[in-house]
Structure 1
């Protein structure tokens, strides 16, 4: 209780002195997690929900038109639309709608809250956190959202435990430590890359050979499969896609979620260290100076070669990936290949 009170006081003072910071930045400054800061307002501006994530997600479509937000430390992905076509397996859940397209890994999820922010024009959201207290996904209500459904969902899943106390744990790293190249069967890895039939097989290939992703790109069969490019590549790709009206896919993820936008981008804006897409239905905010490796990657599939632009931060974490818009059974867009060739 003493720790909670002192954190609450520190949070209050910091907000008073620097009112324009995002909650993620407040958490860093206070050496706390975002979930702990949200939990401080339980009983006033936040309601703690039972951690029945699959059940809650199964009812999100009832909210109607909303905004989905997924981010990591360096890239924020915001997509408006309706959550549709929910399905779940023991390992992952999916929303595959024309607007909201998500790959969800709820095994790492630990906390859920309904949050109200602001007094004059209150903004309502559902916020989900992994067991280390980091935000994995947020769903924001829009003016034309179904508020009755939102209030019913919050009432249905309200936890009996409305304490501000959280047991914050450690999240397992997304990747194991990198092995020396000498311990990798590089020849077999390269042969299996060349013989891929589907882009989704690549993750299994990395696990089989105990490779980190950047190590795998470095050990690629040759530059036709993985080639490093400069770290303005994201900006140049977005600007070119906007100029030439190339439909793209933008993936942003974290430990518990991958969020995908498919379509054209139009309004590319630089603001401080951030390069942004500011379109009516889709916003992207990427901290450009945090991108320390940019790779053009090609993987064979039964539909031909598929090309991506993969962006990594200082921790060698994959923070954003771009593809040309495509569906299984359809070859990659020629306009996307030309765009990548220009990079």
Structure 2
């Protein structure tokens, strides 16, 4: 983005903030038809907003020093917020891991392109944040400081990983390569379903899809009424309410191009607000745009620990919005309470 374009974008951002102070940065970026990274970069000055280096592993390995923070991962239809400490960080190969009881992440840093330290104004004051964006400028992950005692460590981290270039603006020069899938009619359905029947671990499912060059929604369509059941789009609401009422702990996965964020545990306070379906619990918030749910499925995968059942929801492009499992550890069978919930949902929400 050229300097005059960057200056003009920053002015339009400031004007919109004055007109509608409650608008989030993401909403403003959408209004102005730019990526969120371009918007944030337009105000980069090396003082208030600081561009960080692309040493993703180094940054993440130092996050524990911040103490309690809120981790946020979103896509167009879901926002997943989890409070905790970044412990047990490792970066090997194409993915990084954060494996803590509260902060549980899969970091696809090869798709990341930009990072900034950003103070965010809200009615309660200024929140210090670290914001990571993919190569197309979309938000991959955000971290908000919760513990005031972590301010000193935050500023030390920002100084340590400060980029030498603090000029405003960025150039989006790379696109994320989307996976190429085969048409459904070219798939050997018998071979695919046979391989599905022999799965040993849920983590083997995605590699199987890639071998067949098959999208997830096409895979579910092939397995319909055998391993996958299409259900009503109100099923997620019913599932969350049943899990809350019956005290069944669940796992909630929300992903985007560069991150998967996971909650494992109970869900208690379920609230609808307009189009948004929300979990509003201490330490965990989930916000789902119900009007963007295009298809919903109950899916079964065989494993060495028995059948594992998920509730999976997708947008109109076939992108995953969120996936839900019963809470479980490797080597342990699925919770009976979760099986009962999904069996009930399969009957009640079945589509013809």
TM-score, normalised by the number of residues in structure 2: 0.94
Following superposition, the deviation at residue 144 of structure 1 comes to 4.7
Q: Which residue of 2 aligns with 1:93?
A: 96
Distance 1:180 1:102 in 2: 32
Q: How does 1:137-176 map to 2 (within 5 A)?
A: 137-176=141-180
Q: Give the secondary-structure state (helix, strand or coil) at the position aligned to 1:266.
A: coil
Q: 2:132·2:141 contact (CA, 8 Å) conserved in 1?
A: yes
Structure 1: runs of 5 or more not aligned:
none
Q: Which residue of 2 aligns with 1:212?
A: 215
| CA deviations over 1:257-303 (Å, ceiling 9, x no partner) | 00000000100011111000001110000000100000000000000
- Three-state SS of the structure 1 residue aligned to 2:238 is helix
For these two proteins, the number of residue pairs brought into alignment is 341
Partner of 1:273: 275
Between the aligned partners of 2:148 and 2:9, the Cα distance in structure 1 is: 36
Q: Note if 1:203 corresponds to 2:192.
A: no
Deviation, structure 1 residue 13: 2.1
Shift of residue 39, structure 1, vs aligned partner? 1.2
Of 275, 298, 302, the match for 1:300? 302
Equivalent residues of 1:66, 1:145 under 8 A apart: no
Deviation at 1:180, TM superposition (A): 2.5
Runs of 4 or more above 4 Å deviation = none
Retained in 1: the 8 A contact 2:184–2:214?
A: no
Distance in 2, Cα, partners of 1:232 & 1:173: 33
Higher deviation after alignment, 143-152 or 208-217: 143-152
Is 1:128 the counterpart of 2:132 in the alignment?
Answer: yes
Superposed displacement of residue 21, structure 1: 1.6
Q: 1:144 to 1:342 in 2, by over 3 A?
A: farther
Q: Note the 1:11-50 alignment, pairs <5 A.
A: 11-43=13-45, 44-50=47-53
Structure 2 equivalent of residue 341 of structure 1: 343
**More displaced 10-residue stretch of structure 1: 138-147 or 150-159:** 138-147
**Rounded Cα–Cα distance in structure 2 between residues aligned with 1:181 and 1:287:** 28
Q: Please give the secondary structure, in 2, of the residue aligned with 1:88.
A: strand
**Residue of structure 2 aligned with 1:109, choices 92, 112, 122:** 112
Write the deviation string for residues 6-55 of structure 1: whole angstroms up to 9, x where unpaired: 21222222222222221111111101010111112212531111111111
Distance 2:177 2:328 in 1: 31
Per the TM alignment, residue 179 of structure 1 is displaced from its structure 2 partner at its CA by 2.8
Shift of 1:174: 4.1
Q: In the alignment, is the contact (CA less than 8 A) between 1:65 and 1:145 conserved in 2? A: no
Give the superposed CA RMSD. 1.3
Q: CA offsets per residue over residues 51-108 of structure 1, 9 Å max, x none?
A: 1111101111111111100000110000001111111211101011011000000001
1:164 CA drift (Å) = 1.1
Deviation of 1:327 after TM superposition, in Å, equals: 0.7
Shift of residue 202, structure 1, vs aligned partner: 0.5
- Residue pair 2:43, 2:169 contacting (<8 A) in 1 also: no
Once the two structures are superposed, what CA deviation does each residue of 1:171-212 show, in whole Å capped at 9, x if it has no partner?
325432x43222111111010000000001100110001101
Are the equivalent residues in 2 in contact too, given 1:267–1:277 (CA < 8 A)?
yes
Distance 1:121 1:22 in 2: 15
2:295 maps to 1:326 = no
Secondary structure of 2:329's counterpart equals coil
Shift of 1:143: 3.2
Equivalent pair of 1:70/1:138 in contact (CA under 8 Å) = yes
